[in-house]
Amino acid sequence: MLTALGAAVIAAVASLVGVTLGALVEPLKLNAARRVKQRQERADRCGAFIEAAARARQHLVSYNVIHRLRELGESTEADVEREAGYEDSYFTVRAEMRSLYGLLVMSGPDELVEAARNVRQQDMDLHDVRHELDEDRKFDRRFLPAAVRTAVVALDRAIEEFALVARKHTS
């Protein structure tokens, strides 16, 4: 009889300890799961922001090529339509970047927001020089005008810096 009572007491104490530990550990598990979800959301936003910035860059470079052709009188009617398409596509991607930037501002951290702000500024700088022509007024598809090339390199560098900061805050 004493053995059965002893086993029941041990089972009750073990059950109580298990419930107490569960009650203490459960908030820690929920907090860890929340942090993992938050990190994943940040990683998704950063990835989408990088993709949008790269698409914006490509649309502006393509726009510049078509624009230079048109200015030299070497474009066709299809090129005029493509120019308008690149411009529309650019503004669509730019709106996407603006939305993603707002989400990054909302969720932080500040270092990531500052890197994203730099990407947006470099994008704006490239947008400002999208109408630049070749210095010698001779079109060569292999080379961009100096101002456009400089802006493209700066945007590429800003995207890379943003990616490094994003990796630090999402790994």
Ordered mean pLDDT values, 10 residues apiece, the chain (171 residues)? 65 66 67 81 94 96 89 77 91 96 91 96 95 80 88 97 94 81
Closest CA to 143 of 157, 156, 132, 154: 132
Q: Which pLDDT score is estimated for 95?
A: 96
Structure tokens, 162: 């943003």
Instruction: Name residues whose C-beta falls within 8 Å of residue 121's C-beta, 6 or more positions apart in sequence.
Output: 158
- Give the orientation angle of helix 110-128 with respect to helix 146-170, to 10 degrees: 160
Q: Which pLDDT score is estimated for 74?
A: 74
Closest CA to 147 of 137, 133, 159: 133
Q: Which pLDDT score is estimated for 18?
A: 66
Q: Which pLDDT score is estimated for 70?
A: 84
Fold of 2-170: Four Helix Bundle (Hemerythrin (Met), subunit A) (1.20.120)
Q: Which pLDDT score is estimated for 21?
A: 62
CA distance readout (Å), 54 to 17, 113, 137, 143, 154? 55, 18, 28, 19, 12
Q: Which pLDDT score is estimated for 23?
A: 67
Closest CA to 113 of 36, 77, 166: 166
